[in-house]
Amino acid sequence: MRLERLTTNKIKIFLTSDDLFERGLSKEDIWKDSLKWHQLFHDMLEEASEEFDVDIQGSVAVEVFSLQAQGMIMIITVDEVTDEEELLYDGFIEMQVRVEGSESLLYEFECFDDVIDLSKRLLLVNILGGSLFSMNNRYYLLLNDLDTPNIEKTASILSEYGEASIISSYFLAEYGKIIMENNAVETLLHYFK
């Protein structure tokens, strides 16, 4: 589990599929609103509260973004609580959850050669397209509009060469440098056979 403070009242939590599995949870437990999920959620809030010195009380908005085989990202927004409201809540947390899925995968790689080797492997299973970015001496491959049956298989291949990225594609588009747009796999194969 990785925590990142986005603003004074907004925290991002990234949970890999392995994190969920280690805690005995599946993504279905989250969608079903199970007791295990509530326990994990409260544990995460407690850890975030301690790490970022944030008093989490009152209304908490939670956005859950499923990253298919990669895991999930939660954006937690804590509403400001006045002194009068604090007496009313007294340790109570009101939770609003919004769930969104993603048909894309974003992986990061330490070196360019890993991306080239990955492209050769993706060609063998007929997975093409994607956009290649660079940021902070790392490379990022974003594959969009994947078919649901192919996501698990594609993620397992990508995991052999890199690791799931915890940054969002929007952040990458804003602050990263685009190297190849839309046809990265084909372009890499054309120049680096």
One digit per residue, pLDDT tens: the chain, 193 residues?
788 877 777 888 887 777 777 877 766 666 665 677 777 777 887 887 788 776 666 677 777 766 656 677 777 877 765 444 443 444 444 444 444 455 678 899 999 999 999 999 999 988 889 999 999 999 999 988 776 566 777 887 888 898 888 787 888 888 999 999 989 999 999 998 7
CB 188 within 8 A of CB 119: yes
148: its two tokens: 């649901």
Q: List the CATH number of the domain containing 152.
A: 3.30.70.1950
Closest CA to 33 of 91, 97, 78: 97
pLDDT digits (tens, 9 = 90+) for 115-135: 999 999 999 988 889 999 999
Q: Which residues pair with 142 in a beta bridge?
A: 106, 131
Spatial distance between the Cα atoms of 107 and 155, rounded to a whole number of angstroms: 9
**Tally of domains within the chain:** 2
122: its two tokens: 């993706």
Spatial distance between the Cα atoms of 155 and 152, rounded to a whole number of angstroms: 5
What is the rounded average pLDDT for all residues in the chain? Answer: 77
pTM: 0.54
Is 96 in the same domain as 132?
no
Domain boundary among 81, 100, 119: 100
pLDDT digits (tens, 9 = 90+) for 107-116: 999 999 999 9
